[in-house]
Amino acid sequence: MFKIVEREEMAQGTVIRNVIDAPKIAKKAKPGQFVILKADEKGERIPLTMADTDPEKGTITIIYMVVGKSTARFKDLKVGEGYMDVIGPLGKATHIEKVGKVICVGGGTGVAVLHPITRALKQAGNDVTCIIGAKTKDLLILEDKMKAASNTLYVCTDDGSYGRPGFVTEQLKDCLNEGGIKLCVGIGPVPMMKFVCKMTKEYDVPTLVSLNPIMVDGTGMCGGCRVTVGGETKFACVDGPEFDGHQVDFDELFQRLASYFEEEKRCYNEYCKLSESKL
């Protein structure tokens, strides 16, 4: 078992942070890599990016949004309990180098995935501007950490309850207009990444995105995570999860994410009913 040593509810309980005892993975993991977790015997294998690692303490941190049955099950795990299976580190690490001015754009729980990359980019000597967004103030996560990890931080909320009102792309446009940006990293919901890429393409700024297709094994064995990048089929779990955003077919990814929509709904509803009946 992989024990949970710390647990925090964020964004009004819609986002959960777990620190998990996994020394071998902690020792090896690099920014951009993910793990696959399975709560118990009957559970599904769920990929989540490592938001942080502590090789000395032997722990990894995951931050996830509760969106369905498996993440709801994860949310029910308390400190001292744990995950039956944790596999990793998987995927390629982010290529970190000093390029100059960099913009990191994060939306929703994508901010959690973006945080270690941002920190590494800054440590490598880049001038990092961060734009993070959420639907509303209460759903914003990791503001302090992102502030510490970047040189300049902008916050946007869709409903204007905090920071600049509107989508992150509006702030991004202003930053791009200032010029001199060498690299953009955009991580968040698929539609957000799509629009970020559309915009940076107009300005010819290379853009990295981290893709989240449905996965099973995470080792390149099943092909379920395939995405089309530059007209070629790539397996996000081994060739990614990061890709050149200007080459990604986001519409296909968006469609494929709905593969099990009906099943997921059914499974989640049954789990919620079960949890209610236990209360």
Ligand X SMILES: Cc1cc2nc3c(=O)[nH]c(=O)nc-3n(C[C@H](O)[C@H](O)[C@H](O)COP(=O)(O)OP(=O)(O)OC[C@H]3O[C@@H](n4cnc5c(N)ncnc54)[C@H](O)[C@@H]3O)c2cc1C
Per DSSP bridges, beta strands 101-107 and 85-90 are unpaired
Q: Is 201 in the site for other proteins (CB under 8 A)?
A: no
Rounded CA-CA distance 221/233 in Å is: 14
Question: Between helices 168-178 and 190-202, what is the axis angle to 10°?
Answer: 20
Nearer to other proteins, 43 or 166 (CB): 43
Question: What is the nearest approach in angstroms of ligand X to the Cβ of residue 146?
Answer: 15
Stretch that binds other proteins, among 38-46, 97-105, 173-181, 185-193 (CB under 8 A): 38-46
Q: Is 222 in the site for other proteins (CB under 8 A)?
A: yes
Residue from 34, 64, 167, 235 binding ligand FES (CB under 6 A): 235
How many residues belong to the site for ligand X (CB under 6 A)? 25
For residue 143, how many other CB atoms are within 10 A of its CB?
17
Q: Is 85 in the site for ligand FES (CB under 6 A)?
A: no
Stretch that binds ligand X, among 64-72, 80-88, 94-102, 191-199 (CB under 6 A): 64-72
Task: Mark residues 67-106: x for contact with other proteins by CB under 8 A, - for none.
Answer: --xx--x----------xxxxxxx----------------
Q: Are 117 and 95 in contact (CB under 8 A)?
A: no
Q: Is 214 in the site for ligand X (CB under 6 A)?
A: yes
**Contacts to ligand FES from residues 193-222, by CB under 6 A:** 215-218, 220-222
How many residues belong to the site for other proteins (CB under 8 A)? 41
Rg (CA), the chain: 18
Three-class secondary structure of residue 228 per DSSP: strand
Three-class secondary structure of residue 79 per DSSP: strand
Q: Is 125 in the site for ligand FES (CB under 6 A)?
A: no
Q: What phi and psi, each to the nearest 5 degrees, are found at residue 45?
A: -85, 120
Rounded CA-CA distance 170/166 in Å is: 7
Nearer to ligand X, 33 or 171 (CB): 33
Nearer to ligand X, 83 or 205 (CB): 83
- CB under 8 Å to 223, separation ≥6 — which residues? 235
Amino acid, single-letter form, for residue 32:
G
Angle at 65 between CA 110 and CA 192, to 5 degrees: 35
Per DSSP bridges, beta strands 101-107 and 127-134 are parallel
Instruction: Summarize as ranges the residues that interact with other proteins (CB under 8 A).
Output: 24-25, 28, 38, 42-45, 69-70, 73, 84-90, 216-217, 219-224, 226, 228, 233, 238, 252, 255-256, 258-260, 263-264, 266-267, 270
Instruction: Summarize as ranges the residues that interact with ligand FES (CB under 6 A).
Output: 215-218, 220-225, 235, 237
